[in-house]
Amino acid sequence: NAGVTQTPKFQVLKTGQSMTLQCAQDMNHNSMYWYRQDPGMGLRLIYYSASEGTTDKGEVPNGYNVSRLNKREFSLRLESAAPSQTSVYFCASSRDRGIGYEQYFGPGTRLTVT
Amino acid sequence: QKEVEQDPGPLSVPEGAIVSLNCTYSNSAFQYFMWYRQYSRKGPELLMYTYSSGNKEDGRFTAQVDKSSKYISLFIRDSQPSDSATYLCATLKTSYDKVIFGPGTSLSVIP
């Protein structure tokens, strides 16, 4: 039982390049989330998916898109990376949207945009 | 004003000490309060959550919420070097809302 997995672990992009961060969970959870973590800022919600087939914007969605590929997988895409998107990205899941207080996090992807 | 504030530390204590980690929040509508532990270069891990006011205990960890002063605390008894991590407090108004995280307090427990 791997929990929440993320790939890649590290990535360096040049400004303007695109990439997709992958996330998968094997806990049969309905809800999945993408956060970014910056020093002194705390975790901030980028997008979430309450259930398969739905996605909604969080606090800082600009510059990102998401796809809920199936119940297990939720990807985050940067279409044209900017230095301001240098951050650590975490995917999380919870059994349901209504149990947002019990989220399980992946190990993170460290992204640097030069 | 940030919705949830924490002293970033770092906080350094000797092994065996009682540790007190604290957060303040601004919105009296918050009802759920969580503590996450995050080891260096790892994802956050839920330690415990409480609903409304009161205390909750889990082993060496006790979470306390004082809604009258908008203050949440995490106490760690008999602290161990393995407790060295960043501790994030978090809150939400209802179980369906987005979670608001504090920036975290870095704790080092020195053997």
CB contact under 8 A, B4 and A42: yes
The CA distance from A102 to A93, in Å, is: 8
Q: Output the pLDDT for position B53.
A: 82
- Chain A / chain B CB contacts < 8 angstroms: 57
Higher pLDDT pick, A97 / A103: A103
The CA distance from A106 to A89, in Å, is: 9
% of chain A with per-residue pLDDT over 70: 100
Name the residue facing B8 among A40, A45, A100 (closest C-beta): A40
CB contact under 8 A, A40 and B103: yes
Q: Output the pLDDT for position A113.
A: 98
Residue ranges for chain B with pLDDT beneath 70: none
Q: Output the pLDDT for position B37.
A: 98
Six-digit token string for B110: 């020195």
pLDDT in tens, A11-33: 999 999 999 999 999 999 999 99
Q: Output the pLDDT for position B11.
A: 96
Give, as one character, the DSSP assignment of residue B99: P
Task: Please tell me which residue of chain A has the smallest CA distance to B2.
Answer: A41
The CA distance from B39 to A25, in Å, is: 20
The CA distance from A35 to A87, in Å, is: 10
Contacts of A42 in chain B (CB under 8 A): 4, 88, 100-104
